[in-house]
Amino acid sequence: MRKYVPKDNVQKKAYYTDRFHVVPSVPRAEVTDAHFASVVTALGNDVKEAYIEIGQLVVHIDPTRNFDVMKTLKETCGYTQCSEQSAVDYLAKDNEFELFWQLLNITEAKRVRVVCRLANGAAIESIEPLFKSANFAEREMFDMFGIKVNNHPYLKRIIMPDDWEGHPLLKTYPLHGDEFASWYEVDKIFGKEYRDIIGPENRDPGKVDIKDTKRFSRIGYEVPFGAEYNADEEVPVEYSETALVNYNKKTSKQLDERR
Amino acid sequence: MQVSNKLTPFFENLNFERDDNTMVINFGPQHPSAHGQLRLILELDGEQVVKATPDIGYLHRGIEKMAENMTYNEFLPTTDRLDYIASTSNNYAYALAVEKLLDIEAPRRAQAIRTMLLELNRIISHLFFVATHALDVGAMSVFLYAFREREFAMDLMEDYCGARLTHSAVRIGGVPLDLPAGWLENAAAFCDKVDYEVEHTYGALLNENRIWKMRLEDVGVISAEDALSWGCTGPMLRGSGVKWDIRKEEPYELYPELDFDIPTSDRCDSYGRFMIYMEEMKQSTRIIRQLIPLYKETEPQLMAHSPQYISAPKEEIMTQNYALMQHFVLVTQGMRPPKGEVYVPTESPKGELGFYIKSEGEPYAYRLKCRAPSFFHTGLLQNLLVGTYLADVVTIIGTTNIVFGEVDR
């Protein structure tokens, strides 16, 4: 029987995990710092959970309240810069995204991470009116995860081409690209009618095309550049004999196909 | 859409037929002043920019996706390809983020070496900035002089790690090698050379140069509030009068023990930022000089001792069975950091380079986000370019010092 491969997360996984392996957690400390305590107080009822993880305050909020929380953090608590924002894909486990905003207070030299869980298909409010850096960051989040952002001035793909299908950082998206990706450049450059002639794009860096006579892939056989591939006429390369190893004797194991 | 014939040929990059009397110019992605693969769609009214739309993604390699499919140690050489002008700062930012996640600290000698390499990379990056910025604006000779010194700095990097551009000179938990014999003397000589050249060559050629000042003064003006809002960091932020340097404010490695200044400028323009870059090079040489005696006092240990995550030194692996077993597990399966998330900012030559890592206890990061300073500086262009003249566009792109390896990732 064919081995079952889960489709909801096609990223690489550990090939072996000890049966008794216990995953430890990074310690989460209570909010004791005076500044961070004042931040938690300022946010009031919006805080679902607050703790300190590796020196930074982490605040969990409701996804509908993100704009108000950012506004309070900016105007009351002095967090004037949004360093980074993005998402983490938890669709396979919870059918949710985890969004985070990394904020910086330059007078106190403190950082806060605001975290929320957003259901699949739901949209988040843009914080672009508060932090202009969100303009690019939210576009990137939309491009990479397909998370819609309400009231963004120009929500368009930023890194992938405009006519791209799929969102590359989803766990369901394979590392070497999907079916659409393998035909994208062929369709774009040559046209759909050339699909049969050219074939899908192969992004495997270790691929060796046996019929290719234009690149350095005819290992062991010499063919004039660009010659027609003909297996009958192949003449193996003869190496000069050495005292130690006979390279002409093909004794070593050769893999027929890549694992 | 243009209909081309013999009388009106097809202009790929221009679009004249617009109702509102503006012209649209497609700047890049192959423009030599675009510092890589930046495409700017500029809407011009006469020579004035009405609207600028930066279009990025021409160098996208999916580095964050690759991070989810590589073990932590495997991914380290990939970080070289972010900001390829100063690779070690990327390696270091990544290694530091993983170290914070693992709660380990590099031994003191490794810290001294890392700090030296970081500052050397800062000099390399700043020399590159001065060279290309001057070249963009039109001062050819500075490029030749600055690249001469940059070669010496890359020779030093080559002496240390064997690579000139993609260094991978830092490991998670320390550094792979000790400094070779004579490296410190060469570094000291190089510092003297840089100090002299910054003062007497680039400084003499540019600082008070009439044309240079005309081209840079009051060009690309950004207020402190805007700079913060747009996510500017590094010299872009300090150029707007905000004294913020992560090396001072959230210090890492040996920076708390070192004596150095943070140059700022209240000019808020390209000239102020240029002067910051020049001053930072002098501060970097000052740091390297202070580190030479600090390095000599340290114990020879190079990698942190943490058998669960870090392989033992080679001698132990070759002599002790248990060290060999752990090394085997770490190489074949990869280290498994505890479950949790971390965001660690560092001051790279371009600004705040931070890595956000979400670990689920697997040997592969569940999510890795690279906070690249150039990404946000590129976003700033849509604000900074509006109202300026076409001739200043190249100066402003130059002054943001963006590198497309880390913009597109």
Residue B228: CATH number of its domain? 1.10.645.10
Structure confidence by residue, pLDDT tens digits, A81-133? 999 999 999 998 899 999 999 999 999 899 999 999 999 989 999 999 999 99
B68 & B21 share domain: no
- DSSP H or E stretch at residue B133: helix B108-137
Domain layout of chain A by residue ranges:
28-150, 208-250
Residues B28, B173, single domain; the answer is: no
User: Do B274 and B404 have their domain in common?
Assistant: yes
Measured between CA atoms, how close is B23 to chain A, in angstroms?
Answer: 21
Task: Indicate if the pLDDT at residue A48 is higher than 80.
Answer: yes
Rounded distance between C-alpha atoms, residue B385 and residue B400, angstroms: 11
A178 is written with which tokens? 């999907």
Specify if B127 maps to a domain.
yes
Give residue A179's pLDDT.
87
Q: How confident is the model at residue A67 (pLDDT cuts 50, 70, 90)?
A: very high
Q: Would you say residue B315 has pLDDT above 90? A: no
Give the per-residue pLDDT at A201. 84
Share of chain B above pLDDT 70, in %: 95
pLDDT(B4) > 70: no
User: Over 90: is that where the pLDDT of B359 sits?
Assistant: yes
Nearest of A62, A110, A108, A103 to residue A85 by alpha carbon: A103
Q: Write the single-letter amino acid at A145.
A: F
CATH architecture of residue range(s) A28-150: 2-Layer Sandwich (3.30)
Which pLDDT score, from 0 to 100, does residue A240 have? 76
Residue A166 phi/psi, 5° resolution?
95, 160
In a domain, B4, yes or no: no
Residue B329 lies in a domain: no
pLDDT tens, residue by residue, B273-302:
999 999 999 999 999 999 999 999 998 889
Residue B13 has pLDDT above 60, yes or no: no
Task: Let me know if residue B361 belongs to a domain.
Answer: yes
Q: How do residues A197-226 score in pLDDT, each as one tens digit?
A: 888 888 777 777 767 777 665 566 667 777
Average pLDDT of the residues of chain A: 85
Residue B19 has pLDDT above 90, yes or no: no
Identify whether residues B29 and B140 lie together within a single domain.
no
The residue of chain B nearest to residue A137, with distances taken between CA atoms, is B376
Are B51 and B98 part of one and the same domain? no
Average pLDDT taken over every residue of chain B:
89
List chain A residues with CB under 8 Å of B70: 12
Overall number of domains in chain B: 2
Residue B43 confidence (pLDDT) above 90: no
* Cα A166 from Cα A121, distance rounded (Å): 14
Kindly state whether residues B117 and B167 are assigned to the same domain.
yes
Residue B376 has pLDDT above 90, yes or no: yes
What is the percent of chain B with per-residue pLDDT over 90, rounded to a whole number? 59
CA angle A246, A249, A254 (to 5 degrees): 115
Which residues of chain A are within 8 Å of residue B371 when distances are taken between CB atoms? 83-84, 102
pLDDT at A257 over 70: no
pLDDT score for B11? 58
Mark whether B77 and B126 lie in a shared domain: yes
B153 in the same domain as B78: yes
Q: What is the pLDDT of residue B3?
A: 62
- Does B346 have pLDDT greater than 70? yes
Task: Say yes or no: B78 and B44 in one domain.
Answer: no
The contacts of residue B57 (CB under 8 Å, 6+ apart) are A157, A158, A159, A160, A161, B408
> Do B92 and B30 share a structural domain?
no
Q: Which residues of B touch A53 (CB under 8 A)?
A: 340-342
Range B7-21 average pLDDT: 61
pLDDT of A234 higher than 90 = no
Nearest to B361 among A23, A58, A159 (CB): A23
How far is CA B232 from its chain centroid? 13
The verdict on residue B320 lying in a domain is no
| The predicted structure's pLDDT at residue A197 | 87
- Cα separation values, A208 from A200, A238, B108, B251, B365, Å: 15, 21, 47, 49, 30
User: Is residue B186 very low, low, confident or very high in pLDDT (cuts 50, 70, 90)?
Assistant: very high
Q: What is the DSSP letter of B198?
A: I
**One-letter identity of residue A106:** I
| ipTM for the whole complex | 0.86
Output the pLDDT for position A6: 81
Q: What confidence category does residue B72 fall into, taking pLDDT thresholds of 50, 70 and 90?
A: very high
With an 8 Å Cβ cutoff, is A91 touching chain B?
no
Same domain, B289 and B181: yes
Mean pLDDT value across residues B235-241: 91
Q: How high is the pLDDT of residue A86?
A: 93
What's the average model confidence in pLDDT over B240-261?
Answer: 90
pLDDT value of residue B17:
57
Residue A15 sits at the chain B interface (C-beta within 8 Å): yes
- B10 vs B317, which has greater pLDDT? B317
Per-position b or e across B380-390, b if 16+ CB within 10 A of its CB: bbbebbeebeb
Per the CB < 8 A criterion, the answer to whether A110 and A35 are in contact is yes
Give pLDDT tens digits for A133-161: 999 999 999 999 999 999 998 898 999 98
- CA of A88, closest CA in chain B: separation in Å? 6
Q: Who wins on pLDDT, A3 or B306?
A: B306
Domain hosting B132: range is 63-103+106-303+338-408
Q: Give contacts of A 132-151 with B, CB under 8 A.
A: 132-133, 135-137, 140, 144
Report if residue B190 sits inside a domain. Answer: yes
Question: What pLDDT is stored for residue A245 in this prediction?
Answer: 75
Q: For residue A52, what pLDDT is reported?
A: 92
Q: Is residue B326 part of a domain?
A: no
Which SS3 state, helix, strand or coil, does residue B110 take?
A: helix
Chain A residues lying within 8 Å of B231, measured CB to CB:
81-83, 131-133, 137
- Decide if B112 is inside a domain: yes
Domain match, B196 and B220 both: yes
